[in-house]
A = this chain, B = another copy of it.
Amino acid sequence: MKKKGELVSFRPDIKVVDCTLRDGGLVNSFMFTDQFVKDLYYANLKSGVDYMEFGYRASKDMFDESKFGKWKFATDEDIRAVVGENDTGLKISVMADVGRTDFKRDIAPKSESPVDMIRVATYINTIPSALEIVEYCNKLGYETTVNIMAVSKSNDADLDDALEIIGQSCADTIYIVDSYGSLYPEQMRRLAAKYLECGEKYNKHIGIHAHNNQQLAFANTIETLTMGVSYLDSTVSSLGRGAGNCPTELLLGFLKNPKYNITPVLKFIENDILKLKEEGIIWGYDIPYLLTGRLNLHPRDAIQFTSEHRTDYADFYAYLYDKDSF
């Protein structure tokens, strides 16, 4: 695998994908104010971010609308209320989870929608269902991605098979997703090499979606970016489930393409993110997430622990360790 780019070079193939609403929505049940969403849209626009993900396109039959903000469903109408015809360089994406979306009903042809890209999140064993959505959306005119979640739990042979199958599909981009924030840079580079090999063979972009359980989301993102990974997920101030994601402000600080500008993101943090914190919304790196990350576990126990304002970290570790081992 040849290294792509030096520290001072910039690559036009790089795409920064803002997931603040989508992954951040997992923290506050998507209850963002309209002002927050508008401010984020303009911050992304001015800072040169390439894609903004507005949320999930979840099925309203499966999820109770009264329990979630509108970005759980991210309808074309609601997106349009923010972006109008979005006559800008910022593209728009929504995520569809396998089994949680009624895509045939809820996804209109691209020509009628403000959305540019549909990202499909899947576990390895549901890839055929993911590809059904991808093929459908591709025919409707959308860019598509397949995001293989929890890759730190899968074995090499399964992953090789999965990449082969996705490679032969019409998906434009394949994502490495470190759902549990458990992967070290060395492991990430190994995964990236594997994905990039598939990408070269089948002409796909490769993306990365990292979690910050071990303060490695940014490091893992820039390490794989240097190898050729080009779709880079980030969220402002790491806003996202549990320990959160690769912080946009760190990523834009690293990228050398002068189209990227950190200042609008800093202003958004001042004006909007600090308010969320004041309201008591909790996310970001902390000891409980380090522990689930280290043990390669779903963060759900750490989220619960944190929400109860517990601080008995040693007992929590013993509990997780036991649970993990037997």
Contact = CB atoms under 8 A, between A and B. Distances in A.
Contact of A184 (B254, B269, B287, B294): B254
Contacts of A187: 7
A317 B184 contact: no
A311 B222 contact: no
Contacts of A226: 186
B218 A218 contact: no
Main secondary structure of the interface of A (DSSP, over half): helix
A212 B294 CA distance: 19
A274 B310 CA distance: 12
Contact of A216 (B219, B269, B313): B219
- Contact residue range for chain A? 35 or more
A318 B219 CA distance: 25
A276 to B, nearest CB: 13
A43 to B, nearest CB: 11
Nearest to A312: B270
A152 B220 CA distance: 21
A250 B222 CA distance: 20
Contacts of A312: 270
Given A185-B222, A250-B290, 18 more contacts: A7-B184, A186-B226, A212-B215, A214-B218, A214-B250, A215-B215, A215-B285, A216-B219, A218-B219, A253-B290, A253-B294, A263-B317, A266-B287, A266-B314, A270-B311, A270-B312, A270-B313, A274-B311
7 contacts: A7-B184, A185-B219, A216-B218, A250-B290, A253-B294, A263-B318, A267-B314
